[in-house]
Amino acid sequence: MDEVEQNYQGACEIESLGGDPMQLKDMALAASEATAAEFLKDGDGADDKRQAFSDACEPVPEEVSESLWRRTQDLYWASARWACAEQQGEDAQAQREKRAFNRHARFIHGFGVGRAPQDREAFSARAAEVMPATVIMFSGCQDSQTSADVQNTASFGLPSDAGPGGAGGACTNSMIKALLQDNYTWVELLKAMRGILDGQYTQIPMLSSSRSMDLTSPFSIQNPEPSGRYRALLIGINYVGTSSELSGCVNDVDTMKRYIEDNGYGDGDIKLLCDDGENDDPTKENIEAGMRWLVEGASSGDSLFFHYSGHGASVKDDDGDEADGKDEALCPLDYDSAGLLRDDDVFKLLVAPLQAGVSLICVLDCCHSGTILDLPFMFKADDDSLAAVEEGSVSEMQQNPDFDFGKVLQVIKDHPALCAAAAVVGGIAYHFASDEQRSSLMGLASSWFG
């Protein structure tokens, strides 16, 4: 009861929900009691207490929207279930409820899919604040598409010294073929890749970025203001001897390595993970370690490069923060035992630690890779979009309509240097949370919201 009274006193100071603080206290108590009854298998008691919760939610405060009030109720339920699951030692459910709690808390604080600023200037400013580095990603296809594993890349017409030949990925080889022919702008490179793929492959390359970059500026894998080190991580997985075996992913790494070595990256700056018996295996553990190595100590002026050729997956979203209900993921060599590398994990390892002035270029030659880094700006190289750039009606990337700044802040809370402020999130989600739940919300606050 002491904790309840403490939370009640905090609720009295809340202005975001308005209404009667005693009502908020009654809602919190009723949700906790109903959930406890459910966990104790007290059927009749649980029904009564759920009705008590419904009664406590009435009337809806006039100044609170229906969606906010519904989320507030969901927050109480998730908080109570999280606490009860932890008490019962049901770790899997506790983690699910924790993710739900964080998702509802983000919504209450003005975040969530589709809730980013509509004003382009405000959107860009917020993107720069939560992601200080310049991160640009080429993906071989959109989230809903598969990427081709080509049996004979000779059809692309690459010079003999461009790679080992044989099998390879359509994205990697069309990119290298284009880059060896001419100097391109970003959009010209995408168009050239489309031209090479056209007629044989339906996949449509995408470009995404942490910045609203000028599509007509020159393409480069180097920092536009290079003054630091060069470092690259290249991953190729053929899944040899499995039912998911591919043919050309290790060859893709060889091809890409030759290209980047001719463009600023020396041998000592490049780490390879391939299931070829010569390099370290691309297991989940090794990939995660490689990503940490890539970004470790990165500072302004550094040029970083990441290339992945292997399987990609689209799986059910496990925390409700994706507009399409799907998480995109990379498939390590040991994915069947160690699991996938989901988009949230990749973002946390590759993007979140980077500081302002660092440049990271990523090329992902795998299925379902369109938004695997969850970046705020995007450009799909379909016919209409390419035509719009050529006509001059479009020159910059579009805002990602599904981008969730709250999710990004949740992920980067483990990197305090990136947060604009170390303030604890205020409001109902904080005052009625346990100490651990409060800790989970650290970093959600920033200087641009109160």
> Which parts of 175-311 are beta strand (E)?
206-209, 230-236, 270-274, 303-309
Domain containing residue 53: 2-112
- Whether 432 is in a domain gets the answer no
**In the prediction, which pLDDT does 293 show?**
96
Is 97 within a domain? yes
100 and 144 belong to one structural domain: no
Distance separating alpha carbons of residues 258 and 219, to the nearest angstrom: 18
Statement: the pTM of the whole predicted model exceeds 0.75: no
Give the phi and the psi of residue 361 in degrees, each rounded to 5: -110, 130
Shared domain for 134 and 108, answered yes or no, is: no
Is the Cα dihedral 212, 217, 221, 223 positive or negative?
negative
Distances (CA, A) of 285 to 151, 236, 281, 330, 367: 29, 15, 10, 13, 21
Q: Report, as residue numbers or ranges, the catalytic residues.
A: 311, 367
Same domain as 184, residue 137: yes
Residue 438 lies in a domain: no
Q: What is the pLDDT of residue 15?
A: 45
Q: Specify whether 107 is located in the same domain as 124.
A: no
- How many residues does the structure list for the chain? 450
CATH number of the domain within which 171 lies: 3.40.50.1460
Residues 103 and 149 in one domain: no
Tell me if 269 is assigned to some domain.
yes
Among residues 428, 407, 424, the alpha carbon closest in space to that of 416 is found at: 424
**What single DSSP character describes residue 396?**
B
Asked if residue 193 and residue 83 are part of one domain, the reply reads: no
Number of H helices, E strands in the chain: 16, 13
Cα–Cα distance between 272 and 261 in angstroms, integer?
13
**What is the number of domains present in the chain?**
2
Q: Are residues 150 and 100 in the same domain?
A: no
Same domain, 230 and 94: no
State the pairing for strand pair 134-139/359-365: parallel
218 and 156 share one domain = yes
Tokens coding 209 = 């970025």
Last residue of a domain, one of 69, 95, 112: 112
Kindly state whether residue 415 falls inside one of the protein's structural domains.
Answer: no
Indicate if 89 and 128 belong to the same structural domain: no
- Digitized pLDDT (tens) for each residue of the chain, 450 residues in all: 343 444 444 444 444 445 566 777 788 788 888 888 888 887 777 888 889 999 988 988 777 778 778 877 887 888 888 888 888 888 888 888 887 877 777 676 666 666 667 788 888 888 888 889 999 998 876 555 455 556 556 666 666 667 676 778 888 988 999 998 888 999 999 999 888 887 677 778 889 999 988 999 999 999 999 888 999 999 999 999 888 888 889 999 999 999 999 998 986 799 999 999 999 999 999 999 999 999 999 999 999 999 999 988 877 665 554 444 567 889 999 999 999 998 888 988 999 889 999 999 999 998 756 567 888 999 988 889 989 998 888 888 888 877 877 777 666 554 444 333 222 222 333 333 344 444 433 333 332 222
Residue after which a domain boundary falls, among 112, 141, 169: 112
Instruction: For residue 61, tell me if it sits in a domain.
Output: yes
Task: Give the whole-angstrom CA distance, residue 202 versus residue 19.
Answer: 55
Look at residue 420 in the predicted model and tell me its pLDDT. 31
- 56 and 193 inside one domain: no
Indicate if the alpha-carbon torsion angle 114, 119, 120, 124 is positive or negative: negative
Q: Residue 45: inside a domain, yes or no? A: yes
Amino acid at 218: P
Q: State the residue for tokens 């470009």.
A: 207
CA distance 244 to 221: 31
Asked if residue 83 is part of any domain, the answer here is: yes
Domain boundary among 95, 112, 129: 112
Token pair of 389 as six digits: 């750039």
Based on the domain organization, do 73 and 199 belong to the same domain?
Answer: no
